[in-house]
Amino acid sequence: ETGVTQTPRHLVMGMTNKKSLKCEQHLGHNAMYWYKQSAKKPLELMFVYSLEERVENNSVPSRFSPECPNSSHLFLHLHTLQPEDSALYLCASSHKLAGGPGAEQFFGPGTRLTVL
């Protein structure tokens, strides 16, 4: 595997379910991100991790819980979601967090989440 991978690619869940999204980057990067992509809206940054420490929680509801056990893996734990949470959830990584070359973000293919 190369680049940034995400599993599952599609997920349908009820509002009372608990599920997790997984992201893995094979690029040796130190920073990882979760974004939400909804139709006709700009990408929304949700969480940022640098060297496994969370550096950003962009006012995301507590029903979304991120976890970064190491610099290659990022999870998004989901519980008691709402139908409006249905979207494409994208993971990204970058070599460094910010500032000049090396901070470019590379995206995974996303998980298409549908909440019934």
Partner 1 sequence: GENVEQHPSTLSVQEGDSAVIKCTYSDSASNYFPWYKQELGKGPQLIIDIRSNVGEKKDQRIAVTLNKTAKHFSLHITETQPEDSAVYFCAAGTSGTYKYIFGTGTRLKVLA
- Interface residue list for partner 1 (CB under 8 A): 4, 6, 31, 33, 40-43, 45, 48, 55-56, 90, 92, 94, 97-100, 103-110
What is the C-alpha R_g of the chain?
13
Which C-beta is closer to partner 1: that of 17 or that of 71?
71
Give the three-state DSSP class for 8: coil
Which C-beta is closer to partner 1: that of 21 or that of 31?
31
Shortest approach of partner 1 to residue 97 CB, angstroms?
5
Which amino acid is located at 81 in the chain? L
Shortest approach of partner 1 to residue 15 CB, angstroms?
26
Which C-beta is closer to partner 1: that of 48 or that of 113?
48
Shortest approach of partner 1 to residue 110 CB, angstroms?
5
CA torsion, ordered 45, 106, 51, 103, to nearest 10 deg? -90
Which C-beta is closer to partner 1: that of 38 or that of 82?
38
Nearest Cα to 4, choosing from 82, 89, 92? 92
Cα→Cα distances 71→31, 52, 59, 94, Å? 7, 6, 23, 11
Shortest approach of partner 1 to residue 23 CB, angstroms?
11
Residue 15: both structure tokens together: 């509002």
